A and B are shown apart, each in its own frame.
Chain A
Amino acid sequence: MPDAKPQRLSPLQLFLIFTRIALTSFGGGLSGWFMREFVQTRKLMSEEEFLNGLAIAQALPGVNVTNMAIWIGYRMAGRNGAIASFLGIVVPPAFTVVLIGSIFASFSQYPLSHVALDGAASAAIGLSLAMGLTAARRVSRKLFPLMIMAATFVAIGILQWPLLWTVAAAGSLSVAVTYFDT
């Protein structure tokens, strides 16, 4: 079946979905949550469509998570969808972080809370890794894209080069070659 587009969510629904994800995503991995929610569970976007958006959201300046929320929101419900998704992913957790910050003095006395969080974070890495592996599996099986992927991984993960320049260099090289190659 080609990508049919009956996939309309109202801005309110988008706001509630992003709020729920924002408030339950202890330990990070939010973009992985998005993929889970919109691609696998609700089947509102194809994996292809999600990964294309993710590539843009990663390459543009800005925090990936909010970029991706705005991207998804816009595709689902236009301008109001983008606004609702952005507000959902930012505003409720903003209140939460201030609340936790205000009660931190009492919170930090329980070392178990740190242990609980470390455990949550280790499971949450699974969300990022599963998304990374899905993205890698969907890179076309040709030498050049695979080399770009490996080079980006080594530059950032192992050599720890600055993100901005690595993305600018690898991105423009890869896009240029793709453009003239097709």
Chain B
Amino acid sequence: MSSTKFILGCFEDPDEMMDGITLLQQNSVPIYDVYTPMPIHGIEAKLGIKDSRLGYAAFMFGCLGGTVIFSLVYYFMVHDWPMNIGSKPAFAIPDFIPVTFEWTVLYTAFGTVATFFFATHLFPGRTPRVMDYRATNDRFVIAIDAKGNTPHADITNLLKEAGAVEVKHNDRKYVSYEI
């Protein structure tokens, strides 16, 4: 039994990599993931990845931020200590708009980014799970789980056919763990 854990098809051109994905899919080879130095538009549809739901999170955080600050300002300025400023109403809604807007934006920004980091497991100090060091530089890498996907030579040929400049048979999933 081969000790290969992952097969990596390294492309130097994003279009060729897309061809590689098509070819693998035509041959029913499941793709583990794709690592690229830049976002590839249209790849989600091809790999059947659902749309991101971060927009909903952003909306909810925005609503939360606006509600929190408006309630607080209402409590401060109307309920707890209403001030008589020339007999004008204490509940001066137009005056509350700037801070309400700012906190809506603040909560949206921090909430969305925190959700993104949480969902993607990004945080300071997380060990990078790198399969190929050049995937953040100039290589577009298709990763295929070697287990159960045989014969490996066929997969290699498919990747080469699509234009892969290098096909790696890695014994470890993450090369970054070696250091």
Q: Do A and B bind each other?
A: no
